[in-house]
Amino acid sequence: MLIIFDIFGIMLSFIQSNSEISTENIPLFPPRVPESRSPDILTDLLEPMGCCGSNPVDEEEHLDYSSGNVTLITDLKSWEKKLEDATDANKTLVVKFSAVWCGPCRIAAPAYSELSLKHSDLVFVSVDVDELPELVTQFDVRATPTFIFLRDNKEIDKLVGGNQVDLQQKFEPYCRPGDEVMSKQSFEDKT
């Protein structure tokens, strides 16, 4: 540790002795945080590096489910309404916890939309983990995508990850007799 400080001291002495370089331009570590806001050193260090908020995906608001029958849940009021509607209709509610920036979530979105069309007896919703952290905590979501099946306001099944074959197989027990179920082969052909 002393060696690092000695090297830093030598460099600082050199810079101070050089008339063209000013010590005012040397970045401080950790960076100084204005007193008006709480320190978030990690964000302050990563943002200038382009690690946070620099992905073009961040400009999108939600994943695209327009080809299916999936409701985007953007606030707690709409969540409570959809939960109540599914319970009153005696239907299973399928919740996909995802994020715009999540690659596997983006890949799973078209399959989830297609499943929503094939299984009209189920209610499909999507929750962005960044918009509703309360639900993330409530359902102990630790990875995206996570699919949770609810019946009568109780969790009855859960799938973590975006494996499309596993996702398809999860739906089979919740199909009503006579509903068309995609075969494993036809599901793989679409991916």
| Cβ neighbour number for residue 171 with a 10 Å cutoff | 21
Is 51 one of the catalytic residues? no
**What is the distance between the alpha carbons of residues 86 and 125, in angstroms, rounded to a whole number?**
11
Question: What is the Cα Rg of the chain in Å?
Answer: 25
Q: Which of 149, 174, 147 is nearest to 161 (CA)?
A: 147
**What is the distance between the alpha carbons of residues 12 and 16, in angstroms, rounded to a whole number?**
6
Interhelix angle 103-118/164-171, nearest 10 degrees? 30
**What is the distance between the alpha carbons of residues 134 and 122, in angstroms, rounded to a whole number?**
24
**What is the distance between the alpha carbons of residues 62 and 81, in angstroms, rounded to a whole number?**
20
Q: Which of 51, 52, 102, 175 is catalytic?
A: 102
* DSSP secondary structure letters along 2-57: HHHHHHHHHHHHHHHHSTT--GGGSPPSSPP--TTS---HHHHHHGGGT-SS-SGG
Is 102 one of the catalytic residues? yes
Q: Which of 51, 52, 105, 175 is catalytic?
A: 105
Q: Supply the residues annotated as catalytic.
A: 102, 105
